[in-house]
Amino acid sequence: MWKKSLCLLIPCVLIAYYCYAPIPHEIEQHWELMMIWSFMRIQMHIAPLLEMLGFGPFPLLEILVVPPISDENVTVTDNLFNNVSVRVFVPKQKSSTPRRAVFYIHGGGWVTGSAAWGPYDELGRWMVERLDAVVVSTDYRLSPQYHFPTQFEDVYDALRWFLRKKVLAEYGVDPTRICIAGDSAGGNLAAAVNQKLLNDPEIKIKVKIQSLIYPVLQALDMDLPSYRENSHMVIVKKQQMAEFWSRYFTSDKALLEAMVANQHTPVESSHLFKFVNWSTLLPERFKKGHVYTTPIHGPSELAKKYPGFLDVQASPLLADDSTLRRLPLTHILTCQYDVLRDDGLMYLSRLRAADVRVVHEHVEDGFHGILSFGSSLLNFRAGKREVNKYLKWLKENL
């Protein structure tokens, strides 16, 4: 009898382990989110084995890929912009005037994600239908096969190609109504390429809006209040974010271990902490109950071997004020239950201090990835609400 009970108990414990997650009561559709999280956890646990067998980091997510299918409203094509894969969405209805455009960069921690994923494909179609916009959704090479700055360079190369007058004219785009947008790691890349555009003498087009959706913006301090409060939150945990960051730069586990301990920045780079000091940059409500401690310095050897995590093109929050004050109208979306919340809030503070026009939306019951959860595939009510609000704002301001 006890053997049967044990056989029943073991799978029950495993199911509970993979399904349960400490989801705050404010978040809607608890059970649906738990089921999605359990799928993600299973994938993360088998990922190392699959990588040893020659697969990519998250091969099970290939089920999200959809082909470029046109319909009565939009023509969808997969193209190459300067040898970078992009998915382009163009309205079928003729227009007597040039259209607005959105250059979109997907998330995925620089290790996964694709413009061909269903949620991103659907977002591109919604932008066409609701904004009457041309949408370019770009891909980029992923880690661990490729490390920084490859991802940044791929996005920048595709963007420079798109911003050529000849290309804009080919797609019927108004060069004064262009938005560069991205979510999560894509928000990081959007912020970084926008900064570089400012100093590129060959690019004469001025971007009208940059839109950063729960962006990851700095790799120096992984002990922000949002990291403390959401260290075990679903979708992206503190440990996962450290893994994403370290893989962006190297496959060396030494950097990962140092980042998890928040002891990776060398003393000679301590002057950079003023750009990411949450005790001075966060609004009071987000600092409540937290005490700032200066990160412990790490060995100089790590920074010498992997200088990327100190590079402004990887951590846009490290940009100085002279760069920030030249940026365009900025839209930032942050979520309460997200380890990356404070990255967006600190950038918000720095941009406002630099007299940049900033529109901030904070989703009190939101979690990382909420816009993608508004897709037909995942069908979260809160996600749909945020997508609708986001597209409405873009239509009114772009």
Q: Which of the residues are catalytic?
A: 184, 338, 368
- Are 364 and 286 within 8 A, CB to CB? no
Integer Cα distance of 188 and 218 in angstroms: 9
Length in residues, the chain? 398
Question: Beta strand 74-81 with 84-91: parallel, antiparallel or unpaired?
Answer: antiparallel
Q: Cβ neighbours of residue 151 under 8 Å, at least 6 residues apart? A: 110, 140, 141, 142, 143, 185, 189, 248
- Name the nearest CA neighbour of 378 among 20, 28, 15: 28
Q: Do residues 105 and 162 make contact, with C-beta atoms less than 8 angstroms apart? A: no
Count CB-CB contacts under 10 A for residue 373: 25
Mode of pairing for the β-strands spanning 134-138 and 99-105:
parallel
Residue labelled with tokens 């920048």? 156
Amino acid at 215: P
Taking the C-alpha atoms of residue 187 and residue 116, their distance in angstroms, rounded to an integer, is 18
Rounded-to-5 percentages of helix, strand, coil across the chain:
45, 15, 35
Q: Which residue has the tokens 């009510």?
A: 381
Q: SS3 string of 170-237?
A: HCCEEEEEEEEEEECHHHHHHHHHHHHHCCCCCCCCCCCEEEEECCCCCCCCCCCHHHHHCCCCCCCC
Q: SS3 of 25, please?
A: coil
